[in-house]
Amino acid sequence: THFGFETIPESQKESKVGAVFSSVARSYDTMNDLMSLGIHRLWKDHFVRSLNPGSPLPARDGDKSGKGWNILDIAGGTGDIAFRMLDHATNINNDRETRVTIADINPDMLAEGKKRSLDTPYYNTGRLSFMQANAEHMPSIPDNSVDLYTVAFGIRNFTNKQAALVEAFRVLKPGGVFACLEFSKVNNPLFNEVYKRWSFGAIPLIGQIVAADRASYQYLVESIERFPSQEEFRAMIQEAGFIIPGKGYENLSCGIAAIHKGVKP
């Protein structure tokens, strides 16, 4: 491959991924906008709308976690998904109890999220908290404690994706929802050609010019290429113990991205 991430041992992969995100933390938004032509914002809006956070929860036996939803946003970095979920709960469902924990392995991404939270109404309220954690192992989060687990453009970077899915299953309450927004496989061969050219050609170049960091963006493109197909990823979610609702996934923009869901029985 161009960059050779596969050839480095798993033990070093984590620090390599860490370096990628430390290096992109500040230019993160600009780059997302450039790379996706701004469309990632629409995908994120749609993702959150489809989850309808803060809507009435079914009564759960023995649940003492209080009113509102207890949400865990994994790889939540900059807060993109968390702030949207809190806005949705507040403005659409008139719910001021729903709270989100943003967990991320990378302190620089968390710092960026904290900085951005200063401009939101959730800063220093009980509704938003930050936690440095590896999605594959989160001993500080109790079993059966989370109503909604979200991961947006994160799981692709995890060393052991199946371990993260099993950990998601553990922390969710019965009836709780796993929801993932991630790059996926384009379903139209002709469009796929155009898309491949764009991603392998333009994205590393944009990274070089805008962020002076070609290698990190080359890594991002290759990690998208290596990520399992919609059907393969659905099977992994099922393997972790989740019930798959309906088809299990929704393609966005011809499959450039997809939303996968699973429900803990």
Site residues, ligand SAM (CB under 6 A)? 17, 21, 74-78, 80-81, 104-106, 109, 134-136, 152-154, 157-158
- Comparing CB distances to ligand SAM, the nearer of 92 and 163 is 163
In the complex, what is the shortest distance from the CB of residue 20 to ligand SAM, in angstroms, rounded to a whole number? 8
In the complex, what is the shortest distance from the CB of residue 89 to ligand SAM, in angstroms, rounded to a whole number? 18
In the complex, what is the shortest distance from the CB of residue 163 to ligand SAM, in angstroms, rounded to a whole number? 9
In the complex, what is the shortest distance from the CB of residue 28 to ligand SAM, in angstroms, rounded to a whole number? 7
- Comparing CB distances to ligand SAM, the nearer of 45 and 239 is 45
Q: Can you tell me the distance from the alpha carbon of 85 to that of 68, in angstroms, rounded to the nearest whole number?
A: 12
- Comparing CB distances to ligand SAM, the nearer of 75 and 86 is 75
Q: Can you tell me the distance from the alpha carbon of 179 to that of 245, in angstroms, rounded to the nearest whole number?
A: 11
Q: What are the residues whose beta carbons fall under 8 Å from the beta carbon of 183, sequence distance 6 or more?
A: 153, 156, 224, 227, 256, 257, 258
Q: Can you tell me the distance from the alpha carbon of 71 to that of 148, in angstroms, rounded to the nearest whole number?
A: 5
In the complex, what is the shortest distance from the CB of residue 129 to ligand SAM, in angstroms, rounded to a whole number? 15
Phi, psi of 177 (to 5 degrees): -115, 135
Residue identified by tokens 């790379």 is 35
- Comparing CB distances to ligand SAM, the nearer of 134 and 229 is 134
- CA angle (217, 159, 236) in 5-degree steps: 110
Instruction: Read off the tokens for 93.
Output: 């469902």
- Comparing CB distances to ligand SAM, the nearer of 135 and 258 is 135
In the complex, what is the shortest distance from the CB of residue 94 to ligand SAM, in angstroms, rounded to a whole number? 26
- Comparing CB distances to ligand SAM, the nearer of 75 and 256 is 75
Q: Where are the beta strands (DSSP E) in the chain?
A: 70-74, 99-104, 128-132, 146-152, 172-183, 249-252, 257-263
Dihedral (CA of 18, 24, 29, 33) sign: negative
